[in-house]
Structure 1
Amino acid sequence: MKSLKYHFLSLIFIITCLNCSNETAEDEVTGSLEPKSYYEELNISYGNDSDQKFDLYLPENRNSNTKTMILVHGGGWTSGDKKDMNPIKDLLRLDFPNLAIVNINYRLADADNKPYPMQIEDITAIIDHLKSNKIKYTISENIGFIGTSAGGHLSLLWSYAFDNDNNTKMVCSIVGPTNFTDPAYLDNTNTELQELLDLFGLDLATSFLEEASPLHRTTTSSPPTILFYGGKDPLVPTTQGTDLRDKLENLGVVNEFTLYPDAGHGWDGIELLDTWTKLRVFINNYL
């Protein structure tokens, strides 16, 4: 599941041009954790694996109420890198200068290392690190998620099933899989898609597929959720979005759903601008 980064790069250019008169000077990175100063640190280790690293961006004038947005890249659970999410990180820094941002890598799946629960465990380790260092970083425990493709799946799953303290205030999935028991997956004839699904294991029990599916882990206390899907996506059927939307509606969970009928596994132009416009309002309302 390919990254959407190049589409977001074009959107950054558009928004930068529109907002150029509102730009403010940015402090130099000082290496200090003085809360009045902007601070960033790249490749912070949270485990022994070379992929267990994240980038941290802390806004100036932050305080104990400062919230954190966590970015989760895509790549079919087997590839991708946090740098793929840098365009979204840059958009957030433009439009939400008071947010802390954490852009994460996680261990990639292969024949010997299944995506679930390994990658969920990595997200938990990152959240634990942030909580244990909240005084050092001068941030709150409140978080949001933006995930694309496989990262959308991981963002939804962690927020719905593993956030035991209900710290997640909003979650966004852009073309993220939500339900591995969907007939559109179980009965598919797409070789590329099947190879991705086989990462979770062959001949899996329905109970395991449900355990790894955000749709089956939703509850009435799930956080506000915003979803974006393409009607011609060859990897993520429309039902992955519509079924989760309907489940959230039935549970009374705040949600927004957008389907771009002619888009595939990503989009650009006016549709991408629409995505950011809606997501920006959602973040402002719930995070």
Structure 2
Amino acid sequence: MKANYFHRLILAIGGVLISCLPQEGDLDPPTVLPAKSLTNESYGAHPRQVVDLYLPANRHENTPTLILVHGGGWIEGDKSDMHPFRDFLREQFPYLAVANLNYRLADAAHSPYPMQLDDIQALVTHLEEHREEYRLGPRIGFLGVSAGGHLSLLWSYTRDTKGSVQMVCSMVGPTDLLDESYRSSSDPTLREMLDVFGENEALLTAASPVYQLRSGAPPTLLFYGGQDPLVPNSQGMGFRDRLSALGVTHEFHFYPNEGHGWLGLNLLDSLVKLKSFVEKHLPDGR
């Protein structure tokens, strides 16, 4: 499930939303710490367990971190796919730290579950252990696209034992691996992705956000397209209904004529809604 559809216009659209930046000569308070970028920082022993970490200027002990999780159907993809989102977030939220990770990819011998959740856990643990060095706070959020949206939801609902997740956003992320349209599908592209989970119903249940959602889950932002060939409409709508039934704070945004990603005015609309959600749920902690 590729995230490439979202990438082409994000930077251009982001420019529309950027507030006027201070010009040279403006009287700003002195920066305590300069901005810092760490590329391919290891958070584990595997070559795929690396993260690009962008630390904002003037960060402090309660600076929040937004973690980006790329798509690719659990079997491919790279953190570079998330660069347009990375740049948009850094422009719009100069107080945020942004962590853009790679994770181990699944194949016939390596199921995505729980391997890829373990990788996200390893990254979160790495951030916790280096919090003083990076000068970051404990609050985190997630933005995932496609398979990355699925992983972001699942980790936030099942692994956040410390209540660190303040918000999670899934763009076109699957929520129910037991969906009958998945189990009966003969589409070769879809089968290649889904078959890496295997046939075990207990595992598929454990790996499906809709069955792991509980009351008290973090605020959740969802985006879906009505013509998506990879994620049936029932998944997004059923998940929305489950969030409502459990009283979980959420927003659900549906674009009837869009597929597994979109551009143009609907992308602009999505980014405006994302910006508002982050401002509300992951503000600067000063």
| Pair 1:141-2:119 in alignment | no
Find the counterpart in structure 1 of residue 242 from structure 2. 247
CA distance in 1, matches of 2:212, 2:253: 21
The CA distance in 1 between the partners of 2:108 and 2:221, in whole Å, is: 32
Q: Please state whether the residue corresponding to 1:196 is helix, strand or coil.
A: helix
RCO (CA 8 Å, sep 6+): is it higher in 1 or 2?
2
* Structure 2: gaps (5+ residues): 25-30
Q: Once superposed, what is the RMSD of the aligned Cα atoms?
A: 1.6
Task: State the Cα distance separating 1:17 from its structure 2 match.
Answer: 4.8
Matched with 1:29 is none
Tell me the amino acid that sits aligned with residue 82 of structure 1: K
Comparing 184-193 with 231-240, greater Cα deviation is found at 184-193
Aligned residue type for 1:129:
H
How many aligned positions are there?
276
Give the C-alpha shift of residue 239 in structure 1: 1.3
- After superposition, the Cα gap between the structure-2 partners of 1:23 and 1:268, relative to the gap in structure 1 and judged at 3 Å, is same
1:104 corresponds in structure 2 to 101
Q: Does 1:211 align with 2:209?
A: no
| Contact 2:7-2:81 within 8 A present in 1 as well | no
Provide the secondary structure at the position in 1 that maps to 2:234: helix
Aligned to 1:22: 20
- Report deviation, 1:85: 0.4
Q: Distance in 2 between matches of 1:214 and 1:85?
A: 22
Residue 8 of structure 1 corresponds to which residue in structure 2?
A: 7
Letter of the aligned partner of 2:60 in structure 1?
A: N
List per-residue Cα deviations over 1:218-256 (Å, max 9, x = no partner). Answer: 111110000001111111111111111111100000010
Secondary structure in 1 matching 2:143: strand
Please list, as runs of the form range in 1=range in 2, the aligned pairs for 1:83-98 lying within 5 A after superposition: 83-98=80-95
Contact 1:8-1:272 within 8 A present in 2 as well: no
The letter for the 1-side match of 2:221 is I
Query: By how many angstroms is 1:15 displaced?
Result: 2.7
Give the whole-Å Cα distance in 2 for the aligned partners of 1:194 and 1:270. 32
> Counterpart of 1:15 in structure 2: which amino acid?
G
Kept in 2, the 8 Å contact 1:35–1:138? The answer is no
Q: Does structure 1 conserve the Cα–Cα contact (< 8 Å) formed by 2:10 and 2:85?
A: no
Instruction: Indicate the SS of the match to 1:249.
Output: helix
Give the corresponding residue for 2:220.
Answer: 225
Q: Residue type of the partner of 1:69?
A: L
- 1:148-203 residue CA offsets vs partner (Å, 9 max, x unmatched): 000000000000011111100000000101111122222334232122110101x3
Q: Is the 8 A contact 1:155 1:172 kept in 2?
A: yes
Name the TM-score, length of structure 1 as normaliser: 0.92
Match in the other structure for 2:191: 194
Q: Name the TM-score, length of structure 2 as normaliser.
A: 0.93
What corresponds to 2:39 in structure 1?
42
**1:119-134 mapped onto 2 (5 Å cutoff):** 119-134=116-131
Runs of at least 4 residues of structure 1 off by over 6 A? Answer: none
Cα distance, 1:208 vs. partner? 1.5
Identity of aligned residues (%): 49
CA distance in 2, matches of 1:193, 1:272: 25
CA distance in 2, matches of 1:101, 1:161: 22
Distance 1:110 1:125 in 2: 20
**Secondary structure of residue in 1 paired with 2:9:** helix
CA distance in 2, matches of 1:227, 1:36: 34
Query: Could you tell me how far apart the structure 1 residues matched to 2:165 and 2:252 are?
Result: 19
1:257 to 237, 244, 252: 252
CA distance in 1, matches of 2:235, 2:192: 18
Aligned to 1:176: 173
